[in-house]
Amino acid sequence: MTPAEIETVYETMAETIDAVGAEQREVFLAKLCLALAHELGAGGKVLELIADCRKDLAGG
Amino acid sequence: MRPAGRSELDSLYFTYPHFDGPSERGHLGDEVPVAIVGAGPVGLTAALTLASEGVRSVVLEKKPTFNDGSRAICIARQSYYILDRLGALTPFLDKSLGWTTGRTFYRGKQILEFQMPDSEAERFRPMYNLEQQYIEQFLWEAAAASPLIEIRWQSAVTGVADEEDGARLSVSDPGGDYAFKADWVLAADGAHSPVRKMRGLRLQGENYEGRYVIADVRMKHDYPTIRRALFDPECRPGGTVLVHRQPDNIWRIDYQLRDGDSAEDATQEAEVRRNVEAVLKDLGHTGGYDLEWWSVYSANTLALDDYRDGRIFFIGDSAHIVPIFGVRGLNNGLADAQNIGWKLGWVLNGRAGEGLLDSYTPERRGATLDVFANASKSTRFMTPPSHGWQVMRDAALSLALSHPYAGALANPRQMVPYTYADSPVTLADDPAFSAGPAPGAVAADSPLEQGHLSERLSGFTVLVFGDQIDLAGLERIEGVAVLRLGAETDVARAYDAEEGTIYLIRPDMHVAARWRQVDPDTVETALRQILQISGESL
């Protein structure tokens, strides 16, 4: 993935998180994770990323 | 519960019989080999299993008739094999509705259709729907026809005391109080088991928050026998609804209560009607309906640590409470009854040692724990226990609307018969096999000639492939039947068998041991070990 492509993903995510509204935000993100995990096709890698992304959260 | 103006036994489709307490009383205090507490499906299955082994039993039931409503309605394939063994199958096949398919909907749109394993080669469908009253009636008809079973209605057990080689039961009926000794007691007295309480035993496990109302309605509704699960439907935003078809135009509506709903309010007739009508509207049913009966239940996973207490065995709901979604409450209860029934029968007939009875708890409690593991997954999907589970459940359902692979997350766990792999009477597998039912598993029921293998099994079956091996010694053992099959048949292929292969199949159809190649002495030694008997008595 090129830096330009990841930037487009970044921007689209920002806009979509705003657009879906507070109530559906979490479900939207969880749904996207399931869809991306399915596309990735590697369960072990997904579990690694879940653990990885849990690190360094603000206040966490 | 039933609508105002109708008594608990005033059903729209079922005429309850009324049974008096014992009128002849001279023999009531006589000692009996087995006393069974409870004449529900589990107690009667135990009595019929014992009778099929030639063992007499007395069944004590505090009520004057069958259960006051239809609780359990799904009978699994393996239970039909139990009914077949009891000679009670025909009325069940005639009346019940077999089914194979389930459909799951999210916000009104179908996201999953699943098929349970089935084919033309199977003798029975994966599941049958039948109201519990019929289940009890058909078993009662079989029990009433047996000279070995005495049912005492309106007879409450008020005490169970240990005695040497047995237990003394105190009984109260309309004609008076009496006591008698039973060599063995089977407590099939349900979830609130008085026997369990009298013995000071408690169920252990988890109480889940989710509570459901089950309501039966009678209506003309054109939909096949397919289980429907509705998630977040218009009629119950955020909730879950299950719909099952039963015989006699009766439909089971099963809906989840919201957190904070009191069970007392939810079971008021007006409230039940309001909720049922909303579901029917969602189902597109425009005709009228009659409300038949309703009840409320929780999705608990509770079990006794030990299903045996001295001379008492707990069978069915007295030993374990399981969530309804797995349809294992009744089915596991029937399997409990058959399991202890044949073992006790063999011990009382002198064909097996008492050690065989020690396998009851590990086998049947193991089956319960297996249900718990599966049911916990179903329950978490049906009734998410926390915010995280709720978010992921909703995400999966939402994704499934456009991506069918996500619908699989909504698939209820397929319940297959439990494998007694860790049982003390299951022998180690022969590594020479690469397929076929392993020791502990239920024997595969392959088509055989014009029927199925299961129709040829009787007692403890020694299944032998080919005609080379001489089993004259085994054929002399009482209760053991030798069944010879060709080494080039469909059954042989399903069992990964060759000339000389032997399987030992228990009376409950579980495989106890198998050898690809073996000598007769080894088989005889294994039978002794399984039946827990010393060499001299075999």
Taking residues B373-380, report their average pLDDT. Answer: 77
Write the CB contacts of B335 (distance below 8 Å, at least 6 apart in sequence).
B78, B79, B82, B364, B367, B417, B508
Taking residues A38-45, report their average pLDDT. Answer: 90
A35·B396 Cβ contact <8 A: no
pLDDT computed for residue B415 by the predictor: 65
Taking residues B25-53, report their average pLDDT. Answer: 97
Which residues in chain B have their CB less than 8 angstroms from residue A26's CB? 391
Query: How close, in Å, is residue B60 to chain A by CA atoms?
Result: 54
pLDDT band at B343; cut points 50, 70, 90: very high
pLDDT computed for residue B148 by the predictor: 98
Strands (E), B299-335: 301-303, 308-309, 312-314, 320-321
Q: Does A26 touch chain B (CB under 8 A)?
A: yes
pLDDT computed for residue B60 by the predictor: 98
Q: What is the pLDDT of residues B186-212, one digit of tens each?
A: 999 999 999 999 999 999 987 776 788
Place of tokens 């039912």: B437
Q: Which of residues 388-407 of B touch A (CB under 8 A)?
A: 391-392, 394-396, 398-399, 403, 405-406
Write the CB contacts of B11 (distance below 8 Å, at least 6 apart in sequence).
B69, B133, B292, B293
The separation between the first and the last C-alpha atoms of chain B, rounded to the nearest angstrom, is: 54
Q: In B292-349, where does DSSP find H-type helix?
A: 329-348
Calculate what percentage of chain B has a pLDDT beyond 70: 98
User: Of A24, A29, A34, A40, which to mutate for an interface test with B (greatest number of B Cβ within 10 Å)?
Assistant: A34
B394·A33 Cβ contact <8 A: no
Q: What is the pLDDT of residues B309-338, one digit of tens each?
A: 999 999 999 999 987 766 778 999 999 999
Q: Does A30 touch chain B (CB under 8 A)?
A: yes
pLDDT of B213 strictly over 90: yes
pLDDT computed for residue B2 by the predictor: 94
Of the candidates A27, A33, A38, the beta carbon closest to that of B394 is on A27
pLDDT of B306 strictly over 80: yes
pTM for the model: 0.92
pLDDT of B398 strictly over 80: yes
Residue B443 near residue B510 (C-beta atoms within 8 A): yes
> What is the amino acid identity at position B126?
P
Q: Enter the tokens of residue B427.
A: 């022998």
Which residues in chain A have their CB less than 8 angstroms from residue B406's CB? 34-35, 38
Query: How close, in Å, is residue B43 to chain A by CA atoms?
Result: 47
In b/e form, how buried is each residue of B508-532, taking b as 16+ CB within 10 angstroms?
Answer: bbbbbbbbbebebeebbebbbebbb
Q: What is the pLDDT of residues B502-534, one digit of tens each?
A: 999 999 999 999 999 999 899 999 999 999 987
Q: Does A40 touch chain B (CB under 8 A)?
A: no
pLDDT of B17 strictly over 60: yes
A31·B395 Cβ contact <8 A: yes
pLDDT of B538 strictly over 50: no
pLDDT band at B414; cut points 50, 70, 90: low
Cα B326 to the chain's mean position, in Å? 11
> What is the amino acid identity at position A12?
T
Chains A, B: CB contacts within 8 A come to 26
Q: Enter the tokens of residue B185.
A: 């007691």
User: In Å, how far are A29, B325, B405, B484 from B396, measured between CA atoms?
Assistant: 11, 19, 10, 51
pLDDT of B258 strictly over 90: no
Place of tokens 């999907």: B381
Q: What is the pLDDT of residues B128-152, one digit of tens each?
A: 999 999 999 999 999 999 999 999 9
Of the candidates B398, B403, B406, the beta carbon closest to that of A27 is on B398
Average pLDDT, chain B: 92
pLDDT computed for residue B27 by the predictor: 97
Grouping H, G, I as helix, E, B as strand and the rest as coil, residue B247 is coil
Q: Nearest chain A Cα to B397, which residue?
A: A31
Query: How close, in Å, is residue B395 to chain A by CA atoms?
Result: 4
Q: What is the pLDDT of residues B235-247, one digit of tens each?
A: 998 888 999 999 9
A27·B406 Cβ contact <8 A: no
Which residues in chain A have their CB less than 8 angstroms from residue B106's CB? none
